[in-house]
Structure formats: C-alpha cells, structure tokens
C-alpha cells in the first residue's frame, strides 16, 4: 500500500505521463506531491539532483521525466535521446537509493524489444535480438535504466519497478507535427487540413505497421494497481490495451474523430519503424487488471483536450 501522506516525487510532471499521475494522485487524495518544473530542477545535473533529494527526502519516486518523441525525433536527435535519458534516470535511481526511497517506478519502452520480437512481446524477450535502428539510442538508454533498477533491487534490496507501456497517447501529449508521436501528430495535421479545406493529407510511411495504443490514464491506473497491491518481482511488467490497429486504420479513425473527409495518401519515403509491437499482458491479466478506455473514446478525449489547449500549443 502507499500511504496517502507519502512524499511522492513525480519527476517530469508537466508531460503526458506526469500530468496523468498528478491528476490521478490528487483525485485519489494523496496530499504530499513533490513537483519541480524544468527551470527549478535540471534532472540531468547530478549536483542539483543530490541537493534536491537532501532537501525534499521523497518516499516514492515516479520517473516520468525523459527525452521522448516519435520516430522522426528519435532519428534526428539520437545524441540527446541517449544522453538526456541516461543522465536523468541514473541521477534519479541512484539518489533514490542513497536517499532510502522505498518505491520507485521507472518506465521502459516497447522500442527496447528486438525489432522482430515474437508477437505479442513477452517480457523475457527483452535483450534477445537487434533493435529497430531508428530508435536504437533511446532503446539502449531505456534498457540501461531497466538493468539499473534490477541491479539495485538485487544488490540493495530496493523495490524499483520497471513498467513497459505500449504506445501512449492522451492530454498533454506533444502535438508537434515533426517531433511528436503518431496520434498527436496526426490529430494536428488532420485538424489543420479540415480547417484549411485541404483535399489530401500525406501520412508518413506505408500505413502497414501496427501499433497498440494505451490511453495514458489507463497506464497510471495500472501502476497504482501494482503499487497498491504490493505486487513485486524483479522483472519488468508490460502494460497494454489489447487494441492493435494499423497506421492506415488509425489515420481513418482520427479523420473521423476530427471530422476531416479528404483523401489520405501514404508517403513511403518516411520510415515505418517496427512492423509490429503488441505487448503480452499475461502478468497484469493474471493479477486482474485491464485497460478501460477504448481507442475511439480515448481519441475523442485527446482531440477535445487539443481543441481546448490549441492556444497554448501554437
Ligand atoms: O508514433 P511513432 O513515431 O512511434 O510512429 P513508433 C508510429 C508509426 O506511425 C510509424 C507512422 O510507422 C510512422 O511512420 N506515422 C504516420 C507517423 N504518420 C505519422 C506522424 O505524423 N507522426 C509520427 N510520429 N508517425 C516510437 C519510438 O516509435 O515509439 C520511440 O521512436 C518510442 O522511441 C515510441 O519508443 C513509443 O512506435 O514507430
């Protein structure tokens, strides 16, 4: 169980996952959330993180901070993806250990699985094959964090949990059409096409890759379920939605959500990334947890958020 008075540090609380944690923890009555914006605390800076832990003494740390982005951002900024993530997670995991933090949640990524892993991907297939080249530096950083949590659990007896979420979406996502993930990128692109009466929208890649999408509030629900039930084994845990869809079908669904009725074409000069990446969720299924938001309603909520926050994003 987590105590409602625990000092919970949500690192990276301004992003997609961090905001979802803050929403839910506040709603559930957790009263001691510790939050720091980027301008107040640079998580890549070891000295700053040491000082922060000595002052704030969190009981629980949830690592939502990191450099994230879609397929284009990953292959355009590989150095930033590996450096920022290695620094942030190393500082947070090590200072958590030194500061006696009892529980920590670390997020790995499905891109850490081998490019051609058997589908659905089981946790034990991590580190059994080569990675998708477009996001290899990010994946290597994510695997390092997973191994760091496991090693600290082994050597120091900590309970640092690694969650491997499937592709996420929801409010507070990055709606940049170049650097964001496919759902926010397409929402913005298709909304723009609707507003400007464009006859056609070009979708990146062949449209044939399939992705499984999880609404971010469901991810938070799964994490709290695991923490509240004191489930712990020193292995990563996949979190998925069981909702797999091709990029082509997704583009149609987002067109309907947005109300765009023009033509969709596919730009095969843009990379596809991994052909498939659905996660096996047997571990959570057996514990009795399931995602509750279907893709159509999650897209509706995300589009609504986009419409209400466009002013901030543009
Ligand atoms: O969301 P996305 O960048 O994530 O792309 P990945 C998913 C698929 O959508 C790819 C296609 O096949 C893209 O070619 N796609 C079509 C688009 N239109 C768009 C668009 O407008 N924007 C984007 N971004 N894609 C990321 C990794 O891979 O997944 C990260 O690069 C991370 O490291 C994340 O692990 C979860 O699933 O391909």
Question: What is the token pair recorded at 114?
Answer: 């081998």
Mutate-to-test residue for ligand 1 from 71, 248, 260, highest number of ligand atoms within 8 A of CB: 71
- The average confidence (pLDDT) of the chain is 96
Does residue 258 fall inside a structural domain? yes
Please list, in sequence order, all residues whose beta carbon lies within 8 angstroms of the beta carbon of residue 88, skipping any fewer than 6 positions away.
11, 43, 44, 63, 65, 66, 67
Domain assignment of residue 46, yes or no: yes
Task: Report the CATH number that the domain containing residue 80 is assigned in CATH.
Answer: 3.40.50.720
Domain that holds residue 287: 8-313
Mean pLDDT, residues 20-44: 97
Report, as an integer, the average pLDDT of 201-229. 97
How many domains, the chain? 1
In a domain, 1, yes or no: no
Residue 105 lies in a domain: yes
* Active-site residue set: 138
State the DSSP code for 123: G
Coil, helix or strand at residue 38 = coil
Q: What is the pLDDT of residues 147-158, one digit of tens each?
A: 999 999 999 999
The mean pLDDT of 65-69, rounded to a whole number, is 98
Q: Is the CB of 270 under 6 A from ligand 1?
A: yes
**Residue 104, burial from CB neighbour count under 10 angstroms (0-12, 13-18, 19+):** buried
pLDDT computed for residue 15 by the predictor: 97
pTM exceeds 0.85 for this model: yes
- The answer to whether residue 195 sits within a structural domain is yes
Atom of ligand 1 at shortest distance to CA of 112? 35
Q: For residue 40, which of 65, 22, 16 has the smallest C-alpha distance? A: 65
Instruction: Identify the CA nearest to 66 among candidates 139, 147, 133, 148.
Output: 139
Answer yes or no: is pLDDT of 58 > 70. yes
Classify residue 2: in a domain, yes or no: no
pLDDT of residue 311: 67
Residue 110 domain-assigned? Answer: yes
pLDDT at position 313: 67
Structural domain includes residue 205: yes
């Amino acid at each position: 169980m987590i105590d409602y008075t625990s000092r919970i540090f949500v690192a990276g609380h301004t992003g997609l996952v961090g905001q979802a944690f803050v929403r839910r923890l506040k709603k559930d009555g957790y009263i001691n959330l510790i939050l720091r914006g980027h301008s107040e605390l640079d998580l890549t800076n070891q000295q700053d993180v040491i000082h922060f832990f000595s002052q704030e003494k969190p009981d629980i740390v949830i690592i939502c901070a990191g450099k994230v982005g879609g397929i284009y951002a990953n292959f355009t900024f590989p150095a930033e993806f590996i450096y920022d993530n290695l620094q942030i997670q190393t500082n947070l995991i090590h200072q958590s250990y030194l500061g006696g933090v009892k529980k920590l949640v670390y997020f790995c990524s499905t891109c850490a699985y081998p490019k051609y892993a058997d589908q659905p991907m089981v946790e034990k297939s991590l580190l059994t094959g080569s990675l998708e080249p477009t996001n290899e530096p990010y994946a290597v950083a994510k695997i390092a964090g997973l191994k760091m949590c496991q090693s600290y659990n082994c050597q120091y007896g900590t309970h640092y949990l690694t969650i491997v979420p499937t592709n996420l979406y929801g409010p507070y996502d990055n709606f940049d059409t170049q650097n964001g993930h496919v759902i926010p990128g397409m929402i913005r692109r298709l909304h723009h096409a609707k507003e400007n009466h464009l006859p056609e929208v070009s979708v990146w890649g062949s449209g044939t890759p399939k992705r499984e999408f999880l609404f971010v509030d469901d991810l938070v629900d799964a994490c709290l379920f695991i923490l509240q039930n004191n489930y712990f084994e020193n292995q990563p845990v996949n979190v998925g939605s069981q909702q797999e869809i091709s990029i082509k079908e997704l583009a149609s669904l987002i067109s309907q959500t947005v109300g765009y009725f023009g033509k969709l074409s596919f730009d095969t000069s843009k990379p596809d990334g991994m052909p498939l990446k659905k996660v096996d969720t047997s571990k959570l299924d057996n514990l009795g947890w399931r995602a509750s938001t279907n893709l159509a309603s999650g897209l509706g909520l995300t589009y609504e958020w986009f419409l209400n926050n466009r002013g901030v994003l543009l």
